[in-house]
Amino acid sequence: MHAAAIQTTAGDDRDANLAAAGVLVAQAAADGAELVVLPEYFSVAGSPDVLRAGAEPLDGPTVTWASGVAARYGIHLVAGSFPEVARGHDGRLSNTSCLLGPDGALLATYRKIHLFDVALRGVAFRESDTIAPGDETCLVPLDGSGAGGGRGGGGPRAETGAVAGPETGPETPARTGPDAVPVLGMTLCYDIRFPELYRMLALGGATVVCVPAAFTASTGPAHWELLLRARAVEDQVFVIGAGQVGELPAGMPRGHGHSMIIDPWGDVLAERTDPTPGVVAADLDLAALADVRARLPVLANRQPGAYRGLHADDRGTTN
């Protein structure tokens, strides 16, 4: 499978952002990409007030646009993320990523689980003030039919679904090799710092994981590549990181960019070091993935019985 990561610098004008993203998706598709990943908040970016004003439902302008683009080029398209209208009683939005199939069907929806509540060099960011955390992982086979459905659901409108983890039930070994169907695990930005999520996706059958992001320029130089490569190596999956780059609207930190694609050995297959919008692309060889897992069977060598206390309580967690 030929995959591409799109790097953008989004503003608060949805129409302008979609037009700019469309040019880059067209470039990726013309170069043969079958899977294209857009960044976090690619269609509208800015302060909490901007996100609230730009929030939309799943059948709103962003997903409608992405559906049309995916169908036009016959690709799987990860619509990075957008602010989804409040779904709960407390009025908070969701930071939502959608996968569109080659016929434009909505195949899966993932809502960001881990929220960016941090203080960096004296500047505090509290994503949870505006965004409610998701609570389900998301896996979907990229079978090319446009009707695969996410794990736990069937049909073109399938959304999220739980996958088996170290203590939650049987695992689904990934099918690998030249004729295997890639299985995509969906994550977003700050999720990359939580290895439990990526291990669950790998145990559920993921062979490719996407990371649409607006990673900050203050942490990115030290952590972005390191974390992407770590998740690829420890879970033996391809990782596609698509980032925002440069000056973003007020209320969002400067974007690190440096979009890249990592293979299961941890090698960087493609990266964009130019701090401007653009495309990076690479071939994802599932036969090579199978070889890595056969030679270094870390997933098979796990000892789940020794990890039973990992989530025995809520130490270190926040609401």
pLDDT, position 207: 98
pLDDT of residue 236: 98
Tokens of 41: 């908040």
Whole-number Å distance between alpha carbons of 126 and 262:
29
pLDDT along the chain (319 residues), means of 10: 98 97 98 98 96 97 98 98 93 97 98 92 86 96 60 36 38 63 97 97 97 96 98 98 96 95 98 98 96 96 89 64
CA nearest to 224, candidates 173, 276, 262: 262
Separation of first and last alpha carbons in the chain: 39
Tell me the Ramachandran region of residue 273: left when phi exceeds 0, alpha when psi lies from -120 to 50, beta otherwise: alpha
Active site residue 138: no
Active-site residue, 189 included = yes
pLDDT value, residue 59: 97
Query: For residue 152, what pLDDT is reported?
Result: 33
For residue 48, the surrounding DSSP H or E stretch is helix 48-54
Of the residues 34, 56, 98, 112, which is catalytic? 112
pLDDT of residue 88: 83
3 state SS of 271: strand
Cβ distance 124 to 113 under 8 Å?
Answer: no
Give CA–CA dist 205/221, Å, rounded. 31
User: Of residues 40, 127, 171, 271, which has the active-site annotation?
Assistant: 40
pLDDT at 318: 60
In this structure, which topology does domain 2-302 adopt according to CATH?
Nitrilase/N-carbamoyl-D-aminoacid amidohydrolase (3.60.110)
Q: What is the pLDDT of residue 140?
A: 97
Q: Give the pLDDT of residue 310.
A: 79
